[in-house]
Amino acid sequence: MPNYDAGHYFLTVLAPVRPDPELVDGRWVSRRRALRETLNAMPTGERTVATQGSAPANPFARSIITHFARFFVLDDVVYNGRVSQDSVLSAILKINPLKAQTVDRLSTPFLVFVADFDAAGGGAENLRECLTILWRTMSLELTQVFRHCIGFDNIDEPAQFCAYIQKCQVETTMPFNDYWSLPPDLPTFDLKPYIYSASAAGVFTVAGLFIWRPWLLLLGVLALGVTIFTGYRRVLEAARRPFPPSPPPGPGADLPTVLKALTLQREFTQFAIDTQGKGDQELYDAFGDFVTRTKPNDPGADMQPPGVVGP
């Protein structure tokens, strides 16, 4: 399932924005504008050293399973050019590539919500677990955002929020997993049947030419054409299949372990600087103190908090 890869659930949601305006301080404001103002006011947390210790905490940081999350408003789809077609079929059916195609347009703006969660699987129940945790940690902020979307009226509990998000969910066809994982099970494309078939067709064609048997020549040409066309179609079908997910779990790819690794990376860099020039025994004792203090095998001990820049 493309929504799930190596221990992470990749959520993509498109929620239609309400067309009716909202009365704000005595003036009517479009929902699209009100939604953008709400998103602009949401704290982003610490993102650079310059904001360290001063930026308001991002609400998504309250969840220990959320790696990344993003909101944005999609006014309309981008035109990416003509829809590609099968060149062989287009030539046979005499399709004019210069004739304009219908351009897709959105009937209303959409709120796009994408997020990456730690999850045990890619099923609907796993998504509901993630969304329940998200609702219980930041329901106020989520309500402020999604109240500008169609169908979000009177939603005030986790089960209702999960049902709404699943209704607006679209399949994530190309997730980006930024942590190391086991290699996916990539299927092979067997060319041997097509090679054998093309070789046999070639033999029939050559034999038909040398002994001049028109029916044999025609049979060889037809067999060769069918082989080439069938192989061409199979290659296109294989290219359209989604990239297979990596087997779960990704080793050490859950958020607490990642945050602990960032802490250890920073602490060990400082340890290497501080122990330059020390003797063997001093280095041995210092490393023992380092392990005792940082507890490398305990992700919950001295872990960098989510949503902040480490000291």
Task: Label residue 1 exposed, middle or buried (CB < 10 Å: 0-12, 13-18, 19+).
Answer: middle
- What the block records as the tokens of 83 is 């829809």
Give the number of other CB atoms < 10 A from CB of residue 66: 23
The CA distances from residue 259 to 10, 64, 80, 264, in Å, are 19, 10, 38, 9
Distance CA 87, CA 238 (A): 17
Helix 124-146 vs helix 158-168: angle between axes, to the nearest 10 degrees? 100
Average pLDDT over residues 32-50: 88
Give the pLDDT band of residue 274 (cuts 50, 70, 90). Answer: very high
C-alpha of 215 from chain center: 55
pLDDT of 250? 61
pLDDT of 245? 65
pLDDT digits (tens, 9 = 90+) for 95-146: 887 777 788 888 899 999 999 999 988 899 999 999 999 999 999 999 999 9
Compute the mean pLDDT over every residue in the chain, rounded to the nearest whole number. 86
Give backbone dihedrals phi and psi of 231, rounded to 5 degrees, phi first: -65, -40
DSSP letter at 84? P
Contact between 111 and 148 (Cβ < 8 Å): yes
Report which of 237, 272, 242, 13 is spatially closest to residue 145, judged by C-alpha positions: 13
Give the pLDDT band of residue 249 (cuts 50, 70, 90). Answer: low
pLDDT of 251? 65
Distance CA 60, CA 38 (A): 15
The CA distances from residue 108 to 19, 20, 168, 199, in Å, are 7, 11, 14, 56
Distance CA 35, CA 22 (A): 10
Give the pLDDT band of residue 268 (cuts 50, 70, 90). Answer: very high
Higher pLDDT, 21 or 49: 21
Peptide bond into 249 cis (omega under 30): yes
pLDDT digits (tens, 9 = 90+) for 279-288: 999 999 999 9
Among all chains, which residue has been given the structure tokens 């009937």? 107
Give the pLDDT band of residue 247 (cuts 50, 70, 90). Answer: low
Amino acid identity for residue 6 in this structure: A
pLDDT of 282? 93
pLDDT above 70 covers a percentage of the chain that reads: 95
Distance CA 13, CA 31 (A): 18
Distance CA 53, CA 46 (A): 7
For the chain, the domains span 4-168, 192-240, 254-311
Amino acid identity for residue 292 in this structure: T
Higher pLDDT, 124 or 173: 124
pTM above 0.85, yes or no: no
**Residue 9: strand pairing partners:** 4, 117
Distance CA 292, CA 262 (A): 17
Average pLDDT over residues 53-81: 89
Higher pLDDT, 199 or 158: 158
Give backbone dihedrals phi and psi of 8, rounded to 5 degrees, phi first: -125, 135
pLDDT of 239? 76
Give backbone dihedrals phi and psi of 29, rounded to 5 degrees, phi first: -125, 135
